[in-house]
Structure 1
Amino acid sequence: MKALSISLLLGASLALSATAASADQLADIKSRGTLVCGTLGTAEPFSFPEPQTREIQGYDVDFCKALAKSMGVKMELKLIAVAARVPELQQGRVDVVIANLGYTAERAEQIAFSNQYFASETKVAARKESGMTQVKELAGKRVSAVKGSSSEAGTRRAIPTATTVTFQDPSSAFLAMQQGKVDGFALSELSLIKFKAQSEATVPLVTLEPALFLEPWGVGMRKDEAALIKQVNTTLDAMEKSGEALQLFNKWMGASTPYKMQRGFKIEPIKG
C-alpha cells in the first residue's frame, strides 16, 4: 500500500510538472532556441517571396524577426493559410501568428491578441466598366473574399444582401473579379493598391466607398500564456518608442514604395 501511495504521489508530481512546463510557452521557446512564427507568404507587402531568392520577406516577417531577436532565439517561419491561422495556433503548430490577423470579438474568445502593430481599412474594388462607385451598389451582387478572413466576415456584415464567394488566397479572389465571375473584391486597402496597379493596363479598377471597416491587426497567441503575451507587447511597445516600427512601415509601405502611404496609427492596445 505504501509503495502504491508513493507511486501515485510521484505520478501526480510529474503530471503537475508537465502541466507547469507546458503552461510557460515563453520558457519553452527559449529552451528550444526557436520561435515558430506562422505567416501567410502570399500577401505582399506583409509576407511574400523575394523574386530572385524566393525567400519570404515583408512587414509581418520583420516583426517575426524582431520578436525572435527580443527572445534571443532564431526565427522559423511556417506558411499557413488564412483559414488555418487560429487552428494552427490553438493546436500548437506555431508559437505566434503574424499573418494579417485582424481583431474580432469572435477571435478574441479563442486566442489572445497583442497590441496592434498595423491598422487596415478594408475596401471593395470593382471593374471600372461597371460604373459603380459606392459599396451599397453591390446589394444583390457577388463579392469575392479570402476564405476565413475578416474581409469575408466584414463583407457579409456590411453587405448582407450580397453573395460572398470565398477563395483560398487573394490572387484567386482578385482573378475572379477580373474575369467577371464576381462584381467586387474585398481586401485590405493596402493590398488593393497593388492589385489595382497590376490590373490598370488590362482591366481598370475602381475602389468603392466607403470602407467596409477599420481593422486593427495584432500578433495572435494562445490564451493563458501571460509571460509570452507580456514579452510580445513589451517588444512592440519598445519598437514604437525607438522608431523601429515606423521605419518598418516606411520600408514596406512608405513614400519610396509603390503604396506611398503615410502611417496613420501607432502601436497601442486594441480597443475591442
Structure 2
Amino acid sequence: MKKTASILIAGACLALLANLAQADQLADIKARGTFVCGTLGTAEPFSFSNAQTREVEGYDVDFCKALAKSLGVKLELKLISVAARIPELQQGRVDAVIANLGWSAERAEQIAFSNQYFASEQKVAARKDSGFTSLKDLAGKRVSAVKGSSSEMLVRKMIPGATTITFQDPPNAFLAMQQGKAEGFAVSELNLVKFRQQSESTVPIVMLEPSLMLEPWGIGMRKEETAFVKQVNSTLESMEKSGEAQQIFNKWLGTGTSYKMQRGFKIEPIKG
C-alpha cells in the first residue's frame, strides 16, 4: 500500500510540475512583454519589406500582430530563412513561427502545429518554350526550389528521378528556371501567379498539372508548450468567427489585389 501511495504521489507531483512548466511559457511571454514571432521577410505577400516604409508587412505579419494583441504584449518580428524555421523554434530563439510553414508528418514529429490559417496549392512551373505540359514531363529533370521548403520535399516524392536544385528564396529559384539551370520551378501557386505576371513579356511560363498537393499551413510552436498552443488556437478560432481572418485574406490575396483569389478554406484543425 505504501509503495502504491508513493507512486501515486510521485505521479501527481510530476503532473503538477508538467502543468507549471506548460503555464510558464505563456507566463514568460506576458512577463517579458514581448511576443517574438519568426517570419521570412522575403515572401510577398506573406512577409516582405515594404519598399516605401521599409517595414516588414504581409499576411503572416498580420497574424503575428493579432497573436501579440491577444497576449497583451508588444510584437517583435525576427526574420529567419526557410531552412532555419524549425531550428530557430527548437532553440528557443522565437516563440512561434508564422512563415509559410506547411504541415507534414515529418515536421509534426518535431514541433506542434496550430490549426491551419492558410492552405496553399503547391505547383511546378516550366518555361513555355520547353513544351512541358505535365509533371511527368519533368521525370529525371532538374527542378529548382527553396531550400528546406515543402516544395523541395514534394518534388522528390512526386516526380520520379527529379533532381532538386535549392536556393535561399523564391526569386533566385525562379531565375534559375528562367536561365535554363533547371527545367522546372516548384513553389506555391500564389508565388507562381506573381512570377507569371512579371515574366509574361520576357520568358513566359506555364503551370504544370497536376498540383504537387494542397498544403495546409500552420503556426509552428514547441511541442511542450501545450498551454501556449491552446492560446494560439483559441485566438485563431476567434479570428475566424469575428471575420478578422477573412479580412486579412481579402487585404493581401482577395479579389481587390493582383492575386484575385477567393478564400476556399477556413481555420480548422489540420487533419494529419
TM-score by length of 1: 0.92
Q: Which amino acid aligns with 1:69?
A: K
1:146: which partner in 2?
Answer: 146
Q: Structure 1 residue 177 and structure 2 residue 169: aligned?
A: no
Q: Which amino acid aligns with 2:78?
A: K
**Which secondary structure state, in structure 2, belongs to the residue aligned with residue 207 of structure 1?**
strand
> Is the 1:39–1:79 Cα contact (8 Å) retained in structure 2?
yes
2:9: which partner in 1?
Answer: none
Q: Which amino acid aligns with 2:127?
A: R
- For the residues of structure 1 that align with 2:80 and 2:54, how far apart are their CA atoms? 16
TM-score by length of 2: 0.92
Q: Which amino acid aligns with 2:175?
A: L
Note the residue ranges of structure 2 that are not aligned, 5 or more in a row. 1-15
Q: Structure 1 residue 56 and structure 2 residue 56: aligned?
A: yes
Q: Structure 1 residue 102 and structure 2 residue 108: aligned?
A: no
- For the residues of structure 2 that align with 1:111 and 1:27, how far apart are their CA atoms? 20
**Which secondary structure state, in structure 2, belongs to the residue aligned with residue 165 of structure 1?**
strand
Aligned-pair RMSD on alpha carbons?
1.6
> Is the 1:30–1:72 Cα contact (8 Å) retained in structure 2?
yes
How many residues are treated as equivalent by the alignment? 257
For 1:102-251, what aligned pairs fall within 5 Å after superposition? 102-251=102-251
Q: Which amino acid aligns with 2:133?
A: T
CA deviation string 1:29-52 (max 9, x = no partner)? 000000000000000100001111
> Is the 1:119–1:215 Cα contact (8 Å) retained in structure 2?
yes
**Which secondary structure state, in structure 2, belongs to the residue aligned with residue 248 of structure 1?**
helix
Q: Which amino acid aligns with 1:67?
A: L
> Is the 1:145–1:185 Cα contact (8 Å) retained in structure 2?
yes
Question: How many Å apart are 1:133 and its aligned residue?
Answer: 1.1
Question: How many Å apart are 1:22 and its aligned residue?
Answer: 7.9
Question: How many Å apart are 1:25 and its aligned residue?
Answer: 1.1
- For the residues of structure 1 that align with 2:156 and 2:63, how far apart are their CA atoms? 31
> Is the 2:22–2:224 Cα contact (8 Å) retained in structure 1?
no
Question: How many Å apart are 1:24 and its aligned residue?
Answer: 2.2
Question: How many Å apart are 1:69 and its aligned residue?
Answer: 0.2
2:75: which partner in 1?
Answer: 75
**Which secondary structure state, in structure 2, belongs to the residue aligned with residue 260 of structure 1?**
coil
- For the residues of structure 1 that align with 2:192 and 2:26, how far apart are their CA atoms? 36
Where does structure 1 differ by over 6 angstroms across 4 or more consecutive aligned residues?
A: none
- For the residues of structure 2 that align with 1:228 and 1:196, how far apart are their CA atoms? 39
2:11: which partner in 1?
Answer: none
> Is the 2:22–2:226 Cα contact (8 Å) retained in structure 1?
no
Q: Which amino acid aligns with 2:73?
A: V
> Is the 1:21–1:28 Cα contact (8 Å) retained in structure 2?
no
**Which secondary structure state, in structure 1, belongs to the residue aligned with residue 165 of structure 2?**
strand
- For the residues of structure 1 that align with 2:129 and 2:31, how far apart are their CA atoms? 57
- For the residues of structure 1 that align with 2:94 and 2:111, how far apart are their CA atoms? 13
**Which secondary structure state, in structure 2, belongs to the residue aligned with residue 107 of structure 1?**
helix
**Which secondary structure state, in structure 1, belongs to the residue aligned with residue 83 of structure 2?**
helix
Question: How many Å apart are 1:160 and its aligned residue?
Answer: 2.8
- For the residues of structure 1 that align with 2:73 and 2:160, how far apart are their CA atoms? 46
CA deviation string 1:152-193 (max 9, x = no partner)? 001100003111111111111011011111001000000111
Percent identity of equivalent pairs:
77
